[in-house]
Amino acid sequence: MGRDRFKEEKEFEELTSVNSQQRINEVKSAIKRLITRDTKIVAKNESQKKLIQSIRNNEITICAGPAGTGKTFVALALALSLLRKEGNRFKTIYLVKSVTTLKGEEVGFIKGDLQDKIDPAMWSFYINIEKMILKSILTSLITQDIIVPVPLAYIKGASLDDCIIIADEMQNVSLDNSRTLLTRIGSNCKLIVLGDINQIDLRNKNESSLEVLLSLFDGVKDMGVVKMSEEDTNIRNPLINVIEDRYKEYINKNPRNGNGNGKKQQLND
């Protein structure tokens, strides 16, 4: 009886493995049909170079950088390149973001299905992807569940395999919710965590987990921590440097208008 059960379990595992590989092969073929050329990735500064190296060499990369450093574009470009590349099992890109809105800019109830509700939060992803591939191709990749937009609130309980997860705007995610995200990684998974500590939209800025993550996982094997230099902020538009400097100067002079309040969030033992 025991041997028969062992044999059945082994046959099931082999069949599952074969079916899984067949599915990956099918998805890879679909990706090649849709994305006909590899995405060229050329680092424009030292910060981008460090980010690219970390994504390639680590299972998890945590990156913080000011606006305009190109962190989201680089992560998406590299993910698309890895997705198309033969010799790996990546078949899905999950785009993850908190649905935290800008202060005072809430739009209220949005009609439609889940896709209609989460699409506005994913526009920053889509805009970057459309710089590399046609909008019609992006739509096809989403329709075929090769690129999957996911609100952070729906990711709990999932174990994500054979995929690349890109989580943006992590400065708006609490420590508990960042823990939920980081523990979703399954077999053959890359997780890329991105954010900007200067643009926290949480009511209590001290609830932001990004700075904690940068400190907590610095030096951990198979995890990379990248802090993009403020000197490398002219990728999008050189005026961003000026804008950010003026905002920082104003906030430093008027802390009640910009820094929130409350004690710094601490990890429990």
Residue 170: Cβ-neighbour burial (10 angstroms; 0-12, 13-18, 19+): buried
Give the type of residue at 24.
I
In the chain, where are the structural domains located? 43-258
pLDDT for position 113: 58
pLDDT for position 101: 47
pLDDT for position 153: 82
pLDDT for position 234: 57
Stretches in the chain below the pLDDT threshold 70: 1-19, 100-117, 233-236, 256-269
Q: How far is residue 98 CA from its own chain's centroid?
A: 11
- Average pLDDT of the chain is 82
What are the strands, taking DSSP E only, across the chain?
Answer: 60-64, 92-97, 147-151, 163-168, 189-195, 223-227
d(CA 183, CA 159): 8
pTM for this predicted structure? 0.79
How many other CB atoms sit within 10 Å of the CB of residue 88?
Answer: 15
Pull the structure tokens for residue 208: 């932001």
- Residues 6 or more apart in contact with residue 259 via CB below 8 angstroms: 205, 251
Q: Report, at the CATH architecture level, how domain 43-258 is classified.
A: 3-Layer(aba) Sandwich (3.40)
- Over residues 224-239, the pLDDT tens digits come to 999 998 777 656 677 7
